[in-house]
Amino acid sequence: MISEKTKRLIIEFQKIEITEYHVYKALAKRSKGKNREVLNQIADDELKHYQFWEEQTGVKIKPNRLAIWRYLIIERILGLTFTIKMMEKGEEEAEKKYSLVIDEIPEAKAVMEDEIHHEQMLVEMIDERRIEYIGSMVLGLNDALVELTGALAGFTLALQNARLIGMAGLITGVAASLSMAASEYLSKKSEAGGQNPLVASFYTGVAYIFTVTLLIGPFFVFERYYFAMLNTLVFVLLIIWFFSFFVSIVKGLSFKHIFVEMIAISLSVTAISFFIGILARKFLGVEV
């Protein structure tokens, strides 16, 4: 007979397992070929785990419908790999509580090991094209953040006119995005890897243009150039936060390390560019 505390924990596990069973089944219906097979296999594992826990409690649990819809929406926006790894992160928290249950239910150890090893192995088998090109997206986004934020900072001090700064930033950004896309194409073409050079250059260019659009936008919305620059810096922080989170989930890296590194680089370049803008305005005698 299990204790009431253990029973409450197991019911929590049941809720997670049955919810993720329905998520994986729904994702399998959206997928094809190998991915569909893998997702169905993971779903079957989740159902087996749920049934094991149900035998211990004798309680039938309904899935969290809101969580199911949330994961399916996330998959549409951020992709299959991100969604699955995000769910696995949630399961890691539950796994920490398994040790509290194993003392009363020794069989739970096998479930825990299956959860940790077998499902992780299956997750690694998921094949998603866009994840192969994360390096290209990182290249485009990081270069846009560093180069354009620095350029906008310099333009802000040198030009002191929101529309002119925005126009200069737009021209600089578009030219730089085309340059980066071309460089990525040539780089991938010269490598022996299996990535398509055109696709890699596309991801680099799109990431760059997307970042450019967000960063120059405030200069076309606000007349006060310092206020526009402040809003641009807010966008920089939000972009870095989101992308650091995305990469940390998909690649299993430290969010803090990625975030701090990107912030340090972007803000350092911005500060240097501000200083260059001051010098340019003072010594070149340019008045706008």
**Of 127, 152, 183, which marks where a domain is finished?**
127
Domain count, the chain: 2
Which of 127, 158, 180 corresponds to the end of one domain? 127
What proportion of the chain, given as a percentage, has pLDDT over 70?
Answer: 82
CATH code of 58's domain: 1.20.1260
Q: How many residues are listed for the chain in this entry? A: 288
Taking only the tens place, the pLDDT of each residue in 14-69 is: 898 899 899 999 988 888 878 888 888 888 888 988 898 888 888 899 999 999 99
Q: What is the pLDDT of residue 135?
A: 63
Q: Are both 115 and 136 inside the same structural domain?
A: no
* Shared-domain flag, residues 23 and 90: yes
Report the interhelical angle of 80-102 vs 4-30 (nearest 10°). Answer: 160
pTM score: 0.70
Assess if residue 288 is contained within a domain.
Answer: no
Task: Show Cβ contacts of residue 81 under 8 Å, excluding neighbours closer than 6 positions.
Answer: 126, 128, 131, 250
Which 3-state string (H, E, C) describes 194-237?
CCCHHHHHHHHHHHHHHHHHHHHHHHHHCCCHHHHHHHHHHHHH
Tell me which residue range forms the domain holding 84: 4-127
Return d(Cα 248, Cα 216) in angstroms, integer: 27
From 127, 152, 184, the end of a domain falls on 127
Whether residues 95 and 215 share a domain: the answer is no
pLDDT digits (tens), the chain, 288 positions: 677 888 888 888 889 889 989 999 998 888 887 888 888 888 888 898 889 888 888 889 999 999 999 999 988 877 787 888 888 776 666 666 666 777 777 777 777 777 666 566 666 666 656 666 666 677 677 777 777 887 887 788 777 888 988 898 899 888 888 887 888 788 777 765 566 778 778 878 888 888 888 889 999 988 888 889 889 888 888 888 888 888 788 777 788 888 888 888 877 877 777 677 667 666 665 555
